[in-house]
Chains A and B, each alone.
Chain A
Amino acid sequence: MKRNPYIPIDVKVDKIRFETDDKLIKTFDLVFLDKKDEEEFMYFPGQFAELSILGKGESPIGIASSPTEPGFLRFTVMKVGVVTTALHNFDEGAIMGVRGPLGNWYPIEEMKGKNIVIVGGGFAFTTLRSLLIYMLDKKNRKDYGDITCIYGARSPGLLCYRDELAEWEKRKDMSLYQCIDWKFGPKGPLEEAAVEGWEPINLKEPVKTKLKPGSKKFTAFVPQLVSAVKPGAKDSYAIVCGPPIMIKFTIPVLTELGFPPERIINSLENRMKCGIGKCGRCNIGPKYVCKDGPVFSLKELEKLPKEY
């Protein structure tokens, strides 16, 4: 008999660490109490789960770990509401619940043989980490072409997974470009580097920037950095995940670069409760973000009403 989709699966909080310097984001590694549950929890990069704290509620969070790293589920969570605050107050060893895996995933099959451009902003990098780890896995790396990752946050201390970023920076089989936001003066962003070592991109016309070979860290907004890096659109997929404002300005840049809508992939967020397409609150037109998403191509989104 199929599992009751409303009942959370028991897990233990195995490891907790601060992810960002503002201490608002923590990463939790969860392990299943029952080995059988772990075997049944088959997931792919891009899916999410409802983190469940009985007595507090549930919160839908993207899975940051990759199926290629078995033994735990990783979630990176910002402290915002009742549930996430309770979670942040947990110590290692706490027992809680997980419902999932929920939703669809990045088109990992369809993207085989293609170049991949990952564009992420802030703490929405979680499922992109999952995807990156998945593709970089020894067994899978050969299935994909060039991998380019462009990732930005407001400041260096707000970038997630900094140890891993440092490792990826050194890898030969992918290119990683990181950026942090411009420093602001009274009249808007200042043209100088926000922090030493974070080279500024041409503020007004980022596309005219000539990237120095070897530079990997920039002062720029993510869409500007995408303009400057100019990833090739031929045989490429772009996976975009970040705050709405970043997505809004990144998509025209990708379109300009020649990415067709069916090869621009987004992951959406909406207020959710059940996660299984029943409770009726996360729909955009006839599609439920929880069940039919959260991953949509721009082509699919163009068919939906702009109500998100």
Chain B
Amino acid sequence: MKDSSKSIKYIEKEKLGAFIAELQKEYVVIAPKKVKEFVLFEIIRENEKPVLDFRNSRQSPKEFFFPQTENIVEYEGIIDKRVPLTRDTEMQKRIIFGIRPCDIRSILILDKLFINEDYVDSYYKRLRDNTLLFAYGCNEPRTTCFCSSFGIGPFEEKGTDGFLTDLGDGYLVEGFSEEAKKAIANLPDAAKETIEKKEKCKKLSNERAASSVPIDTIPEKLRTMFEHPLWEDITERCLGCGVCTYLCPTCHCFDIQDEMIDEKGRRVKNWDSCMFPIFTLHGSGHQPRELRYQRMRQRIMHKFNYYDDNFGIIACSGCGRCVTECPVNIDVREILNKIKKS
């Protein structure tokens, strides 16, 4: 418990606002906010308090690294004389506060795609390099959470700069990276009993998060399942919308589009979804994935086989968003169990 490599602080709940204000002097603070009846990660404005009594946010904070719409080139002038305008790459440091461990894992999964030896996505990297991640332990995981299937617990620390635990009256705030330690340096040190209290929370929650899908053999199993009746079977009720992919913290497919308004133009990356037929439609009219089940197969295969093949990790963190929000209750846990059994 006496770990000199990290700093352990404590903050009472009512002082959270002041602490956020302190952070805002140096950082753009991104934290959960209530939108209608649900929670989303947004930039916290001055004097605004984050909402921390939530299970998980409707969307993950993925968009702060991989925005749904992101300018990649800006330009102007007449069509046959245009060249890219140079852009300012300076940005203010950001801190994401209250991100759940599953969403942290998802960012680590995305890192492998966007920052690798083949090519580096400089837009993603810039946002990633300038952002501290303060995770928030899950005292009460959702019934649809299955993060433990992927070796992530509700208190997983891997990939975080700091960690926040709700202890009832206040939060235990841990700093792991040098910068995180600096950011919380002004908070009072945590007492021994509060640290013990966190351990208790952690233990309790780990037991609660026992819901899990056995995924160990899935990637290997899928290798031989490309032609399998299962795909048509699980797809029949699918509406072909983008809810699963757009709420998924690891889905990363995008489109590149140009847009002009008067003489000013921009080229953007937009999220795209393998569930949309237009995603793979060739200019010639040829369509490699004509049927719904082929697109469903691509989604599942990509996450649980192809990604594992290419990067050695499954592209799912068990956050359960696709499970709760699918309009027709296509449940990926059920699909995984079916794959396992077939």
Q: Which residues of A contact B (CB under 8 A)?
A: 2, 4-8, 10, 13, 53-58, 80-81, 86, 90-91, 93-97, 244, 269-271, 273-274, 276-281, 283-286, 291, 305, 307-308
**B274 at interface by CB-CB < 8 Å:** yes
User: Are A80 and B284 in touch, CB under 8 angstroms?
Assistant: yes
**24 interchain pairs (CB within 8 A)?**
A5-B122, A6-B123, A6-B256, A7-B73, A8-B84, A10-B84, A13-B80, A54-B258, A55-B75, A55-B82, A55-B260, A270-B288, A271-B280, A271-B283, A278-B252, A279-B254, A279-B272, A280-B253, A281-B272, A283-B302, A285-B301, A291-B118, A305-B226, A308-B288
Known: A2-B120, A55-B82, A285-B306. A273 touches B256 (CB 8 A): yes
User: Are B267 and A54 in touch, CB under 8 angstroms?
Assistant: yes
Measured in the bound complex, the distance between the Cα atoms of B187 and A64 in whole Å is 64
Interface majority SS (helix, strand, loop, mixed), chain B: mixed
Give every chain B residue within 8 A of A95 (Cβ-Cβ): 80-83
Measured in the bound complex, the distance between the Cα atoms of B81 and A91 in whole Å is 11
Q: Closest B-chain residue to A277, C-beta based? A: B118
User: Are A280 and B82 in touch, CB under 8 angstroms?
Assistant: no
User: Considering only CB atoms and an 8 Å cut-off, how many residues of chain B contact the other chain?
Assistant: 48
Contact check: which of A6, A7, A80, A91 meets B80 at CB < 8 Å? A91
Give every chain B residue within 8 A of A8 (Cβ-Cβ): 73, 84
Give every chain B residue within 8 A of A94 (Cβ-Cβ): 80-81
Measured in the bound complex, the distance between the Cα atoms of B113 and A276 in whole Å is 10
User: Are A4 and B82 in touch, CB under 8 angstroms?
Assistant: no
Give every chain A residue within 8 A of B22 (Cβ-Cβ): none
User: Are B310 and A97 in touch, CB under 8 angstroms?
Assistant: no
Give every chain A residue within 8 A of B254 (Cβ-Cβ): 273-274, 278-280
Q: Closest B-chain residue to A304, C-beta based? A: B226
A-B CB proximity, top 6 nearest: A94-B80, A280-B253, A286-B306, A54-B82, A286-B309, A276-B119
User: 1/0 per position for B237-270, CB-CB distance to A under 8 A?
Assistant: 0000000000000001111111010000101010
User: Are A53 and B305 in touch, CB under 8 angstroms?
Assistant: no
**Apart from A94-B81, A276-B118, A307-B289, what 6 extra A-B contacts exist at CB < 8 Å?**
A54-B267, A80-B284, A244-B286, A274-B256, A284-B288, A308-B288
Count A-B contacts at CB 8 Å: 124
Measured in the bound complex, the distance between the Cα atoms of B80 and A13 in whole Å is 9
**B341 at interface by CB-CB < 8 Å:** no
User: Are B257 and A57 in touch, CB under 8 angstroms?
Assistant: yes
Measured in the bound complex, the distance between the Cα atoms of B121 and A94 in whole Å is 29
Measured in the bound complex, the distance between the Cα atoms of B257 and A244 in whole Å is 28
**B15 at interface by CB-CB < 8 Å:** no
For A96, A270, A273, A308, which residue has the most chain B Cβ atoms within 10 angstroms?
A273
**B51 at interface by CB-CB < 8 Å:** no
Contact check: which of A56, A273, A278, A281 meets B119 at CB < 8 Å? A278
User: Which chain B residues in 270-324 approach chain A with CB under 8 Å?
Assistant: 272, 274, 279-284, 286, 288-289, 294, 298, 301-302, 305-306, 309-310
Measured in the bound complex, the distance between the Cα atoms of B254 and A4 in whole Å is 17
Q: Closest B-chain residue to A243, C-beta based? A: B284
**B79 at interface by CB-CB < 8 Å:** yes
**B114 at interface by CB-CB < 8 Å:** yes
User: Are B305 and A286 in touch, CB under 8 angstroms?
Assistant: yes
**B190 at interface by CB-CB < 8 Å:** no
Q: Closest A-chain residue to B85, C-beta based? A: A54
User: Are A279 and B79 in touch, CB under 8 angstroms?
Assistant: no
**B43 at interface by CB-CB < 8 Å:** no
CB distance from B190 to the nearest CB of A (A): 42
Give every chain B residue within 8 A of A56 (Cβ-Cβ): 79, 258
Measured in the bound complex, the distance between the Cα atoms of B118 and A155 in whole Å is 42
CB distance from A48 to the nearest CB of B (A): 15
User: Which chain B residues in 54-92 approach chain A with CB under 8 Å?
Assistant: 72-73, 75, 79-84
Known: A95-B82, A271-B282, A280-B253. A55 touches B272 (CB 8 A): no
Q: Closest A-chain residue to B308, C-beta based? A: A286
Known: A6-B72, A57-B256. A281 touches B80 (CB 8 A): no
